[in-house]
Structure 1
């Protein structure tokens, strides 16, 4: 077991190098993919290793925390990022006006291009994405969990939402932005030790 732990730690060090390389690479996704493979290998070798003890951020206290962080970083640099950024910069400051503007844009596009340009997503999917974006400053609402939720409940909620709003599965233009917000909320809340923090101090910590 000790040998497995040492091998897992070595994998984490190599993953950290790949994450660092991504910031200077013209193909950052390849670096993040390599890091994800190494992190998964570390998990198989010794699941209980704590990344924060080996050069990673103090908030990343488990391998699942680290995987969530790297997946979020990868999609920030992915092919959907530029289109999402352009969409975000042109959106209004309120969810209702944003929804109105996007509906008008879709309608206009449909009139110009004909019936074949109909969106491949439903109105419900669009509304769900916009709701996540409107909650971006409230991590609990983003994940749909109570402030007293356990770490396992937070992790379960994150995984469910990450699958639902993953840009490869959700074709709503703003899905990438919603996916990043979900990942950020999990990083903020997933590691918090509820037994050591009062609710008030926890809220102050999240607000920081």
Structure 2
């Protein structure tokens, strides 16, 4: 039975699209099929609403007037049929949705510049998310606009993804099979679901910011390209049930990791600590400072070090100390150079003198130390 859940979900999605298109018979057919495959509260609610109120009431979809109606009808508030109440939207909301659809990149979606700070991104997202949330904005395509806004913020608020997007993101014509969720007629053509897809659903992102959706939602459903949502209570209930059913399965899957962690801890407890440290460590008693004879590298040992290690062993220990030290200096120098290179590149791309000056003022201490060590090796 559980194996039919995905197929049932697909049937519900097809039925939802049929409802939007006004095809009541097709919607009934796929909803009944979904109920046979795997009964869910969503399918049941849609069936009841469809049977009781007709195709336009099943998910609060407003049938758009033909283009022949002209601007006079478009300027008026239009009514959506709902299972519980009548919902309206304004011409301003319609124009806002069309603007989002025409946007060609994530910065344009949020209405910010490429230099926007994290606070500016948050402020822009908060304003747009409240304005286009499907429970508040019932204009045709508002759901797709809401998804674009969430996806744009999820990418740009992640420093790594934002950097990748700035380097490779661009306007791309949508090809067959690559059109974005609500793309349809609006024109921009940018594929918002290819290459830079959010790691969190628009609804979950909204709830993180505002602590939940609007309480007015009843039987509305929408998709984010991968997951379909019924009203908030049903969705949370299904998620809770899934987590409850999969608890034991999750525990079984995590068992190997837990065993590995325990084995690692036990092995560390059984292995004696190294006789030296490059830094003072009071927790292990390595607080006595010494210096290697060859490269004059500082290291720390315990108070009993002299009595435990003789001349031959001491020579080998100091060799290990110097090898560890050189390795650390080399790695840190590489990081310093990489950081300076990144700053100079960013300064060039964004024409930012502040970043350029910051890069030029870097002291590169570890690289200087690496040069000193190299001179010692050459001299030796």
Q: Fold-level match, TM-score > 0.5? A: no
Higher helix share: 1
The TM-score, its normalising length taken from structure 2, stands at 0.25
TM-score, normalised on structure 1? 0.42
Judging by fraction of residues, say which structure has more strand: 2
Largest Rg, 1 or 2: 2
